[in-house]
Structure 1
């Protein structure tokens, strides 16, 4: 019984991470029709609808002060997802996931006061350096794609800080309300890029699939994991997400990575695991949607 109680939340979290990265992989199928901007708008729009039906955020009572933090939370959520999808138009999924992960890693390091964190900073810096487009070989990454991924990482780091405050103030309604605002933020970008193509019935199945895989399914599974796993275990497991992203890109999108880029991802994952194991336990904020 005890073993089952441990395996259930671990399995739920692993499936949630696979779902998120699979959703990002399938999102690329929408890029030719509506671009990254239109895909972000569809994903957040349908994701907001799904979470609204489940969480019923209209029951939340929001003060004027809480509206401000909620608005900031939603804006960061929208722009973070937009930058991430923009990065996927130029660089492989696994690379984008690894670069983006430096955002929450930086937050974890900055909130810790242990000298050993210098080691994890050095590991992450080496990994990031290997990913930066500093040469002109065929394996060099697109610099604009890397910049978008770095902006997404900065957004994720900000999301961790603001999301904790928003969650404490608004409770379970926070993800749905934040995603509604995020969808409204990116909608003008989507309309400018794709126009009336956003309403194409042919895109609906894929858009719903992406929204479900990236938002509804992982949110439900993460709630199972968050209630049952210690924060350090949760953080250590989520550190594997860049590797899962690389595997999803390989299996679904056939994005094969050279050895040096796999090494870079490994260094960033190692830094994330080391940081998680070194910090003191704190309440954990769910992964971004």
Structure 2
């Protein structure tokens, strides 16, 4: 999951800790970069492992388990005070819970139909749009055109094009953008990691009936449950905790720039781990979207 407040640049999906990157020693920054690499691989590997449970649990069942894991991790870290919130605090947290669940469900459903690399690339358009909309420079306009060109390449009509899968990827992008904006509101109104913890908990409750139905309809074997739990740990718990570590040691610009690599990591993990090979045209589309964000981030300073 992406659980942060959204950095001023691009992505912050975990409640944003106090950043001391500017004063961190060089060794600390090196450790932060290493953790970012591990986090990105963990996130995409978790999604790939979770897809192995699709034949038994389906994307809905895998997402349900992932939501449970995310709730457990965030509640342990955030320790929300449930009886102390006002309606003004509850409202954005409840909206965040709905967006959180919809984002993960649409992403995993897209992965099931169009593969990991393309699904994650389309989802990445959400935070990229937020980043490009926040500034008014010529270079950002050029980056937006480059990103649109990448999308056109990826979604060009073909006999084998899965338009529903593409639409689900774009829905995940919209949800990620909404998630960033809502996290900003929650971050202003609720202290620490409590807002994300509450949102994750409510989302897990929303998916609780799904888990019950899956268990009653066809009790899954241990391998399928293990794959789903692994997806929750690798794609929720590990990225959340690693981002807390990284944001204290790496400048926000470097963090946002590295996040650009996630579509490439997803495509590589899908290719190596799941045999989901991509053609040169698809790689060109992914490269255009990644380049659009990278150039925009580098041009800010």
Tell me, which stretches of 5 or more residues in structure 1 are unaligned? Answer: 281-289
Determine if the alignment matches structure 1 residue 98 to structure 2 residue 124. no
Gaps of 5+ in 2: 1-23
For residue 183 of structure 2, the aligned residue among 155, 163, 187 is 163
Higher helix proportion, which one? 1
Conserved 8 A contact 1:80-1:155: yes
Q: TM-score, normalised by structure 2?
A: 0.86
Cα shift at 1:199: 5.7
Find the partner of 2:38 among 1, 5, 15: 15
Q: CA–CA distance in 2 between the matches of 1:260 and 1:267? A: 11
| Deviation of 1:269 (Å) | 0.2
CA RMSD between the two structures: 2.0
Segment drifting more, 32-41 vs 166-175: 166-175
TM (norm. structure 1) is 0.89
Give how far 1:66 is off: 0.5
Q: Does the residue aligned with 2:297 lie in a helix, a strand or coil?
A: helix
User: CA deviation digits over 1:250-281, x for unaligned, max 9?
Assistant: 1211111111101110000001112223448x
**1:239 matched to which residue of 2?**
260
1:269 partner SS: helix
Counterparts in 2 of 1:1-289, with a 5 A limit? Answer: 2-58=25-81, 61-136=84-159, 140-170=160-190, 171-188=192-209, 194=214, 196=216, 200=220, 202=222, 203-279=224-300
Cα contact 2:126–2:177 (8 A) shared by 1: yes
Over 3 Å counting, the alpha-carbon distance change for 1:187 and 1:148 in structure 2 is farther
Q: Aligned equivalents of 1:195 and 1:182: distance in 2?
A: 19
TM-aligned CA deviation for residue 51 of structure 1: 2.5
CA shift, 1:107, in A, is: 0.8
Cα gap change, 1:113/1:198 in structure 2, threshold over 3 Å: closer, same or farther? Answer: farther
Q: CA deviation at 1:177?
A: 1.6
Q: How many residues align?
A: 276
